[in-house]
């Protein structure tokens, strides 16, 4: 039985729980299109480094794929992951904050799903099948990348407060003073920078863990 060989990692294990509960990861899911499988298998008989012994099982065809395959198409998986052998969907996790945003906005994104889902899956599969597997680059996040992500996040927050929130709460934004806009922009900018710095800190800490423990 293959499960004697593999350790199953799924909810409520720490890494998976972290994925669905950390509000910052909603950014990875909704903006970057990063998705992770609901279930990983870790080979207990291999001496390979951690990243090289994690597998993803396809329940439809029974294929067991290296998780590394998806490192080649890490972003852009807004409509989930598909099996490179049989193209069936592989169950993925969904962050609860993503879910809270996706449910009320379903009329906006559902037509996009109908139009682009198959096309996007074909593109991602082409990347997965046609590029060689490379070991992941274990490196931290640069300050510039952290600030860029923070900037985008701040801008998205600002647009949310200025455009989406008032229409949801039926607030008349024309009565707001320029100062109110300025303060909102400042808050979002500071929030974005802090968020970027947090991501950089978390990513660098993870790199140190990988370097020291190999897991
Ligand atoms: Zn399959």
pLDDT in tens, 91-109: 999 999 999 999 999 999 9
In the reported structure, the alpha carbon of residue 191 is separated from the centroid of ligand 1 by a whole-number distance in angstroms of 42
In the reported structure, the alpha carbon of residue 168 is separated from the centroid of ligand 1 by a whole-number distance in angstroms of 42
In the reported structure, the alpha carbon of residue 90 is separated from the centroid of ligand 1 by a whole-number distance in angstroms of 8
Beta carbons within 10 angstroms of residue 202's beta carbon: 14
Question: Peptide bond preceding 208: is omega within 30 degrees of 0, i.e. cis?
Answer: no
Q: Which of 31-35, 88-92, 169-173, 177-181 has the lowest mean pLDDT?
A: 169-173
Mean pLDDT (whole number) for 173-199: 88
Mean pLDDT (whole number) for 177-200: 90
The dihedrals phi and psi of 57, each to the nearest 5 degrees, come to -95, 140
- Say yes or no to pLDDT of 213 above 60: no
Mean pLDDT (whole number) for 76-100: 94
Per the CB < 8 A criterion, the answer to whether 26 and 99 are in contact is no
In the reported structure, the alpha carbon of residue 213 is separated from the centroid of ligand 1 by a whole-number distance in angstroms of 32
Mean pLDDT (whole number) for 176-184: 86
Task: Say how far apart CA 194 and CA 40 lie, in whole Å.
Answer: 32
In the reported structure, the alpha carbon of residue 10 is separated from the centroid of ligand 1 by a whole-number distance in angstroms of 19
- Say yes or no to pLDDT of 214 above 70: no
- Say yes or no to pLDDT of 215 above 70: no
- Say yes or no to pLDDT of 191 above 90: yes
Pick the closest to residue 83 from 105, 109, 61, 114 (CA basis). 61
Task: Say how far apart CA 185 and CA 191 lie, in whole Å.
Answer: 10
In the reported structure, the alpha carbon of residue 158 is separated from the centroid of ligand 1 by a whole-number distance in angstroms of 41
pLDDT digits 0-9 by tens, 100-143 = 999 999 999 999 999 999 999 999 999 988 877 665 556 678 88
**Which pLDDT does position 4 carry in this prediction?**
83
In the reported structure, the alpha carbon of residue 52 is separated from the centroid of ligand 1 by a whole-number distance in angstroms of 20
**Which pLDDT does position 179 carry in this prediction?**
87
**Which pLDDT does position 48 carry in this prediction?**
82
**Which pLDDT does position 138 carry in this prediction?**
61
pTM: 0.62
In the reported structure, the alpha carbon of residue 55 is separated from the centroid of ligand 1 by a whole-number distance in angstroms of 13
In the reported structure, the alpha carbon of residue 97 is separated from the centroid of ligand 1 by a whole-number distance in angstroms of 29
Confidence of residue 50 (pLDDT cuts 50, 70, 90): confident
In the reported structure, the alpha carbon of residue 74 is separated from the centroid of ligand 1 by a whole-number distance in angstroms of 19
**Which pLDDT does position 73 carry in this prediction?**
85
Mean pLDDT (whole number) for 74-93: 93
Which residues make up the environment of ion ligand 1, defined by Cβ < 5 Å?
A: 58, 60-61, 63, 83, 85-86, 88
In the reported structure, the alpha carbon of residue 215 is separated from the centroid of ligand 1 by a whole-number distance in angstroms of 27
């Amino acid at each position: 039985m293959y499960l004697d060989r593999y350790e199953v990692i799924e909810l409520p294990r720490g890494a998976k729980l972290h994925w669905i509960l950390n509000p910052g990861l909603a950014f990875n899911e909704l903006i970057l299109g990063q998705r992770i499988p609901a279930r990983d298998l870790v080979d207990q008989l291999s001496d390979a480094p951690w990243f090289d012994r994690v597998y993803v099982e396809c329940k439809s065809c029974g294929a067991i794929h290296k998780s590394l395959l998806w490192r080649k198409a890490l972003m852009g998986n807004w409509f989930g992951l598909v099996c490179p052998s049989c193209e069936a969907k592989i169950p993925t996790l969904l962050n609860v904050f993503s879910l809270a945003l996706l449910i009320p906005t379903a009329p906006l994104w559902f037509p996009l799903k109908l139009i682009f889902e198959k096309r996007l899956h074909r593109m991602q599969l082409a990347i997965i099948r046609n590029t060689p597997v490379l070991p992941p680059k274990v490196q931290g996040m640069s300050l510039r990348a952290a600030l860029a992500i923070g900037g985008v996040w701040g801008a998205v927050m600002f647009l949310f407060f200025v455009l989406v929130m008032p229409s949801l709460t039926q607030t008349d934004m024309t009565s707001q003073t320029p100062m109110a806009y300025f303060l909102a922009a400042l808050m979002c900018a500071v929030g974005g920078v802090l968020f970027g710095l947090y991501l950089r800190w978390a990513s660098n800490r993870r790199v140190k863990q990988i370097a020291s423990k190999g897991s």
